[in-house]
Amino acid sequence: MTRALEITFHRYPIAGEFRISRGAKTEAEVIVCAITDGGAVGRGECVPYRRYGETMESVEAEIAAIGDAIAKGVGRDDLLARMRPGAARNAVDCALWDLEAKLGLGRVADRIGVIAPAPLITAYTLSLGDAEAMGRQAAEYAHRTLLKIKLGAEGDEARIRAIRAGAPESALILDANEGWSEETLVSLLAVAAECKVSLIEQPLPAGRDQLLATIDRPVPVCADESVHATADLAGLRDRYDAVNIKLDKTGGLTEALAMKREAERLGFKIMVGCMVGSSLAMAPATLLAQGADFVDLDGPLLLARDCEPGLVYEGSTVAPPAPALWG
């Protein structure tokens, strides 16, 4: 029986506003790819990201273009050659993993060697604002184990100090989203070290991060926009200590698993992150994140409502997906 592919758009309102150095948004726009084979349906969700030149329409077109091949039985390994890394391939790849599980080929966790996936401690993200407002946010969420702080604008030193004062016991990840400069980098790294920050994500713009190779890094620095897939890793060893693996960048769980193995071999710390999406997007990432050094899978916590069924979050802890959701 041939397989059928269906593409649907979904919009989830964000609780409040999600702001980073490049702008703000009030809703998460996602695309769900559903692949049907007989009575079984596999689903995968992706989040198109304009930073990488993606729109809802362009990603929809990429997914639709592979539809005939999917109908003829093209599998996950073939996607690596047929589709570029990015959101579209992520949706199709994760839908195929889920479909295989629904067809009785085994739970995804078992098939990737995660025999007993455990609950994870995830970061909780605080949006960019002025120092006083972010200090209040930090105090409100100081009960959370790990906070991720959006930075990348003038006044970041004051923000870092205010956040540490507001949440003195929480581990902190600072995410500059390419918003620091060569002039501010060294001084902000020193402030981060003074405030006992655990990790700094992508302080300099991708392609203009060579300075990181020539200075002391008193806090580990993690590549995000500078790294997308396995082939990027070798060239980053001199300037980054960790890499953020996101399914929407790698183009799915298949490539992400390969990237994680190679990153570990090269000595990088592993962070598994996400775009702002529903539990359907986070579900495969919770399996990838088993054993990771840092986990940032709080997308559904930032939404006013989630998909049904969703992942189970208890405070900063997220449980692996139930079969009804994914995998």
pLDDT of residue 1: 57
Please measure the distance between the N-terminal and C-terminal CA atoms of the chain and give it in whole angstroms. 22
CB 248 within 8 A of CB 86: yes
Closest among 6, 49, 53 to 29, alpha carbons compared: 49
- pLDDT tens digit sequence for 181-192: 999 999 999 999
| Domain 4-111 fold | Enolase-like; domain 1 (3.30.390)
Note whether 318 and 312 are within 8 A (CB).
yes
What pLDDT sits at residue 22? 72
Nearest-angstrom CA–CA distance, 206 and 2: 42
Query: Cβ neighbours of residue 148 under 8 Å, at least 6 residues apart?
Result: 123, 124, 125, 126, 172, 173, 174, 175, 296, 298
The rounded distance, in Å, linking the Cα atoms of 20 and 191 is 20
pTM over 0.85: yes
Cis, bond preceding 284 (omega within 30 deg of 0): no
How far is it, in rounded angstroms, from Cα 307 to Cα 320?
Answer: 15
Q: Report the catalytic residues.
A: 150, 246
Write down the pLDDT at residue 157.
98
In this prediction, residue 149 carries a pLDDT of 97
SS3 of 40, please?
Answer: strand
Structure confidence at residue 213 (pLDDT): 97
Please report the pLDDT score of residue 16 as a whole number. 78
Low-confidence ranges of the chain (pLDDT < 50): none
CATH topology of domain 120-318: TIM Barrel (3.20.20)
pLDDT recorded at residue 177 = 94
Q: How far apart, in whole angstroms, are the C-alpha atoms of residue 270 and residue 261?
A: 10
**Where in the chain are the domains?**
4-111, 120-318
